[in-house]
């Protein structure tokens, strides 16, 4: 087992989506001042690290994942002075901050891209991926992650540029050493300010294949994946980034790596690889994809979910380190997806907390998850803001013939805006998030689900999260223990054990709303944490979670 001690293995990370976290100046948009106001709340929760989704200058076609200036703060979010103060105040409280590094692409308003579009040759000409037309059309048939063609024509250059996301997010040409140097310089600049690491956006897409040929048709466009996923030079670039930047600081790095398998992860974040510390793999997020990708209403298959976790827990135990998460700003709300946001809302939200946080790896809590926030429940297309959801609606309904009703159902289940409604702080108007009209509607259930209320209730979801976070800090077995799956074949129970020296934890989680018999339960063993007060013999009640602790 790989048990070298590292601070980032012992940490619990909290993801802030600044736009929706807290509005500090009353314009309806979350900002740095708002984050500052809530630092004491984060201390109370007990987390160690904040990961902030992009805070850089951006025209916000993709809420900051389209950066127009990496070294300035987005006007709506505040100023560099405010960021520096936030960093200082966080550090005072023992909380580290990591930032989102979005360098597969920039905004089309970035100075580099503006220069790259000029008709006169200049040093930025080769900063992006430009190709001439093929027979008067796009160079290839590739589609993007957000729908539409991956190529956009530019009149000035009389060429197409590549964008794997929206046309406002042109892909950087990582083959160009000047591009890499600019990125590394910018990273140094932030690290010298004292930030504690990076989450790297779609980092496994940065190296594109040399083969610019058509992809296999998949819906309206050709499949671009074989030409950009884990491309030919990606490891060379990451090793270079590690050598020139990362290795010079004591920081935490996590690469978002889309559609990777355990074997790939070993290459990106293997202990001896000198690349990244961890990856966000998305296998459990991508479960149940169908003909139209994630846009369907397929239920979660617990057996498959368990198989995925087991594969990752076992696969990385000797050579890497896992990230643990149920959700983020691109995913539906955890309790709506994996639990029950109706009758068993509270039990299932706590069960999910316990199930995830007792595993081996670094846990990431997405803002609002700690109070069991649910999907947005929007019934009107007008309420959606996300470019991915709006594009998908038009592509699927207008071009592929899916019914409006079905698509609205899929958006309610899978749309990214489910995770982007404002944080529910209190019972006050707009959930205490803002005094103005929020940029996206608050979830109507805020009077029932909010921080203020749950602070006062001893048995709240919030207090359960505080409990699992505190336990990770107290019990080395939770961080460094061996992982062993139990009851592998059960389609209802997610169970496992963790062992370190003479301590053994056994964890049982019922993922159904039924009583499920389980012979391994005990009424006498010491219970470390559970979401039910008393035991019930050899029965796991609906969404029950129980963790036993035994000393040998």
The residues assigned a catalytic role are: 201, 256
User: Least distance from C-beta 34 to Ca ion, angstroms?
Assistant: 7
Closest to 254 in 3D by CA, of 474, 45, 483, 49? 49
d(CA 233, CA 206): 9
From the list ligand GLC, Ca ion, none, partner contacted by residue 102 (C-beta under 5 to 8 A by kind): ligand GLC
Q: Is 330 in the site for ligand GLC (CB under 6 A)?
A: yes
* Beta carbon nearer to ligand GLC, 376 or 471: 376
Among 113, 165, 268, 338, the residue binding ligand GLC under the rule CB under 6 A is 165
Do residues 100 and 52 lie in contact, with contact meaning Cβ atoms separated by under 8 Å? yes
User: Least distance from C-beta 440 to Ca ion, angstroms?
Assistant: 13
Query: How many chain residues bind ligand GLC (CB under 6 A)?
Result: 9
Q: Using H for helix, E for strand and C for coil, what is the string for 531-548?
A: CCCCCCCCEECCCCEEEE
Q: Element (H or E) spanning 474, and its range? A: helix 461-474
Helix (H, G, I), strand (E, B) or coil at 389: helix
d(CA 5, CA 480): 9
User: Least distance from C-beta 165 to ligand GLC, angstroms?
Assistant: 5
From the list ligand GLC, Ca ion, none, partner contacted by residue 165 (C-beta under 5 to 8 A by kind): ligand GLC
| x-or-dash string of contact with ligand GLC, 331-360, rule CB under 6 A | ------------------------------
User: Least distance from C-beta 89 to ligand GLC, angstroms?
Assistant: 26
Q: For residue 58, how many C-alpha atoms fall within 13 Å in the half-sphere facing its CB?
A: 21
Residues 6+ apart with CB under 8 A from 404: 397
Site for ligand GLC in 95-114 (CB under 6 A): 102
* Beta carbon nearer to ligand GLC, 107 or 454: 107
From the list ligand GLC, Ca ion, none, partner contacted by residue 201 (C-beta under 5 to 8 A by kind): ligand GLC
User: Least distance from C-beta 260 to ligand GLC, angstroms?
Assistant: 13
Closest to 149 in 3D by CA, of 159, 130, 168, 162? 162
Please give the distance of CA 336 from its chain centroid, rounded to a whole number. 16
d(CA 127, CA 133): 19
**The two structure tokens encoding residue 146:** 């957000």
Among 16-24, 131-139, 376-384, 449-457, which window interacts with Ca ion (CB under 5 A)?
Answer: 16-24
Pairing verdict, β 151-154 and 159-162: antiparallel
Q: Kindly state the DSSP code that residue 216 receives in the 8-state scheme.
A: P
User: Least distance from C-beta 347 to Ca ion, angstroms?
Assistant: 35
* Beta carbon nearer to Ca ion, 197 or 422: 422
Closest to 160 in 3D by CA, of 148, 172, 150, 175? 150
| x-or-dash string of contact with ligand GLC, 65-94, rule CB under 6 A | x-----------------------------
* Beta carbon nearer to ligand GLC, 96 or 329: 329
Using CA of residue 95, residue 268, residue 140, residue 147, what is the dihedral sign?
negative
Do residues 98 and 54 lie in contact, with contact meaning Cβ atoms separated by under 8 Å? no
* Beta carbon nearer to Ca ion, 1 or 436: 436
Among 15-23, 96-104, 132-140, 359-367, which window interacts with Ca ion (CB under 5 A)?
Answer: 15-23
Pairing verdict, β 221-222 and 159-162: unpaired
* Beta carbon nearer to ligand GLC, 275 or 330: 330
Do residues 465 and 365 lie in contact, with contact meaning Cβ atoms separated by under 8 Å? yes
**The two structure tokens encoding residue 323:** 């990230």
| x-or-dash string of contact with ligand GLC, 192-211, rule CB under 6 A | ---------xx---------
d(CA 318, CA 227): 31
User: Least distance from C-beta 105 to ligand GLC, angstroms?
Assistant: 7
* Beta carbon nearer to ligand GLC, 24 or 255: 255
* Beta carbon nearer to ligand GLC, 68 or 348: 68
* Beta carbon nearer to ligand GLC, 11 or 102: 102
Closest to 281 in 3D by CA, of 249, 247, 338, 320? 320
Do residues 210 and 130 lie in contact, with contact meaning Cβ atoms separated by under 8 Å? no
Site for ligand GLC in 105-164 (CB under 6 A): none
Site for ligand GLC in 229-268 (CB under 6 A): 256
User: Least distance from C-beta 447 to ligand GLC, angstroms?
Assistant: 29
Helix %, strand %, coil % of the chain (to 5): 35, 20, 50
Q: What is the DSSP string of 339-386?
A: S-SSTTHHHHHHHHHHHHHTSSSEEEEETTGGGT-------SGGG---
User: Least distance from C-beta 328 to ligand GLC, angstroms?
Assistant: 7
Q: In sequence order, what E strands does 264-337 have?
A: 278-281, 323-324
Closest to 421 in 3D by CA, of 410, 409, 430? 430
Among 23-31, 86-94, 263-271, 460-468, which window interacts with Ca ion (CB under 5 A)?
Answer: 23-31
Q: Is 283 in the site for ligand GLC (CB under 6 A)?
A: no
Residue nearest to ligand GLC (CB): 65
Do residues 49 and 13 lie in contact, with contact meaning Cβ atoms separated by under 8 Å? yes
* Beta carbon nearer to ligand GLC, 250 or 286: 286
| x-or-dash string of contact with Ca ion, 24-63, rule CB under 5 A | -x-x-x-x--------------------------------
User: Least distance from C-beta 27 to Ca ion, angstroms?
Assistant: 4
**The two structure tokens encoding residue 147:** 């729908």
Site for ligand GLC in 166-185 (CB under 6 A): none
Among 23, 31, 62, 171, the residue binding ligand GLC under the rule CB under 6 A is 62
Site of interaction with ligand GLC (CB under 6 A): 62, 65, 102, 165, 201-202, 256, 329-330
Site of interaction with Ca ion (CB under 5 A): 23, 25, 27, 29, 31
């Amino acid at each position: 087992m790989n048990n070298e001690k590292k601070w980032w293995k012992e940490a619990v990370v909290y993801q802030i989506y600044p736009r929706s976290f807290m509005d500090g100046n009353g314009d309806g948009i979350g900002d740095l001042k708002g984050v500052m106001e809530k630092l004491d709340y984060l201390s109370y929760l007990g987390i160690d690290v904040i990961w902030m989704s992009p805070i850089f200058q951006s025209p916000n076609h993709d809420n900051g994942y389209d950066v127009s200036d990496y070294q300035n703060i987005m006007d709506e979010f505040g100023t560099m002075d405010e960021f520096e103060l936030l960093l200082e105040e966080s550090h005072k409280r023992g909380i580290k901050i990591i930032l989102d590094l979005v360098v597969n692409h920039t905004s089309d308003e970035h100075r580099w891209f503006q220069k790259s579009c000029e008709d006169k040759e200049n040093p930025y000409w080769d900063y992006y991926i430009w190709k001439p037309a093929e027979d008067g059309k796009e160079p290839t048939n590739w589609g993007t992650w957000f729908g539409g063609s991956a190529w956009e024509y530019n009149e000035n250059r009389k060429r197409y540029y590549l964008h794997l996301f929206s046309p406002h997010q042109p892909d950087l040409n990582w083959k160009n050493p000047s591009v890499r140097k600019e990125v590394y310089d910018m990273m140094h600049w932030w690290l010298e300010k004292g930030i504690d690491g990076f989450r790297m956006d779609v980092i496994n897409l940065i190296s594109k294949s040399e083969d610019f040929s058509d992809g296999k048709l998949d819906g309206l466009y050709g499949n671009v994946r074989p030409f950009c996923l884990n491309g030919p030079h990606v490891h060379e670039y990451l090793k270079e980034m590690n050598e020139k930047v990362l290795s010079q600081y004591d920081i935490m790095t996590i690469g978002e790596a889309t559609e990777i398998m355990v074997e790939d992860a070993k290459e990106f974040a293997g202990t001896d690889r000198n690349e990244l510390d961890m990856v966000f793999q998305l296998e459990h997020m991508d479960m149940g994809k169908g003909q139209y990708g994630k846009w369907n209403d397929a239920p979660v298959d617990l057996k498959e979910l368990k198989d995925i976790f087991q594969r990752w827990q076992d696969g990385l135990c000797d050579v890497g380190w896992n990230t643990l998460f149920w959700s983020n700003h691109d995913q539906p709300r955890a309790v709506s997806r994996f639990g029950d946001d109706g009758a068993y809302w509270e039990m299932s939200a706590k069960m999910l907390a316990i199930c995830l946080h007792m595993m081996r790896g670094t846990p990431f809590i997405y803002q609002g998850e700690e109070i069991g926030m649910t999907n947005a429940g929007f019934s009107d297309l007008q309420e959606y803001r996300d470019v991915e959801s709006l594009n998908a609606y038009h592509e699927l309904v207008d071009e592929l013939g899916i019914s409006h009703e079905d698509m609205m159902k899929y958006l309610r289940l899978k749309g990214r805006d489910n995770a982007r409604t404002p944080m529910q702080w209190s019972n006050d108007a707009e959930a205490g998030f803002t005094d103005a009209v929020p940029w996206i509607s608050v979830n109507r259930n805020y009077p029932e689900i909010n921080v203020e209320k749950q602070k006062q209730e001893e048995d709240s979801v919030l207090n359960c999260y505080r409990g699992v976070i505190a336990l990770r800090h107290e019990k080395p077995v939770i961080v460094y223990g061996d992982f062993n799956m139990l009851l592998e074949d059960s389609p209802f129970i997610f169970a496992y054990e963790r062992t370190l020296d003479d301590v053994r934890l056994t964890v049982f989680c019922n993922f159904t709303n039924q009583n499920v018999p389980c012979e391994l339960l005990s009424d006498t063993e010491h219970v470390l944490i559970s979401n039910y007060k008393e035991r019930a013999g050899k029965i796991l009640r609906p969404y029950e979670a129980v963790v036993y602790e035994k000393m040998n």
